[in-house]
Amino acid sequence: MLKSTSVLAAAILAAAGLAAAGSASAATITPAGTGFTLSGDLTMSQSTTVECAVTLTGTTASDGSSASITGGSFAAGDWQCGWLVTPSSFPWSVTLNGGSSITISGIGANSILGNCAGSITTNWSGGVTFSGATIPGSPGTCSITGTLTSSPSLTVS
């Protein structure tokens, strides 16, 4: 159960990072040069499944070419969130791939049973949605499902 919570935490973190898109192409994120918060519920699973209320904070680059997720937390949903399952490895970098595609790198989550770390590619549309996105983990792969919305609203184009 704790292992699943770890996976869920990693998934949430990944989602948050993706929402704070950065740019490796001509794509940009607006508004540029601003702080933002990503929030929502994510379901994460590894050997167990947990649902956590996720809050992530970050900043967009002054030119809109990138973003960084600099901190965050997990809260109940499930009792493990924020206590046995926590986000890790901040900051997470966000790359814009073109169009609405984004990749967040450096996502991490830990629990007493394991961890998850890696990158996720997804689409941005007023927020970031994870539909069974996976990241490597130990002892197994972590899966993340759910949506995080941004405040203020961020646009990737």
Domain boundaries, given as residue ranges, for the chain: 2-152
pTM of the model: 0.82
SS (H, E, C) 60-95: ECCCCCCEEEEEEEEEECCCCECCCEEEECCCEEEE
pLDDT digits (tens, 9 = 90+) for 4-55: 444 344 444 444 443 443 333 479 999 999 999 999 999 998 878 899 999 9
pLDDT digits (tens, 9 = 90+) for 148-157: 999 999 999 9
pLDDT at 22: 38
Distance, in Å, from the CA atom of 152 to the CA atom of 81, rounded to the nearest integer, reads 25
β-bridge mates for residue 36, sequence order: 58
Distance, in Å, from the CA atom of 87 to the CA atom of 83, rounded to the nearest integer, reads 10
pLDDT at 53: 97
pLDDT digits (tens, 9 = 90+) for 22-31: 333 479 999 9
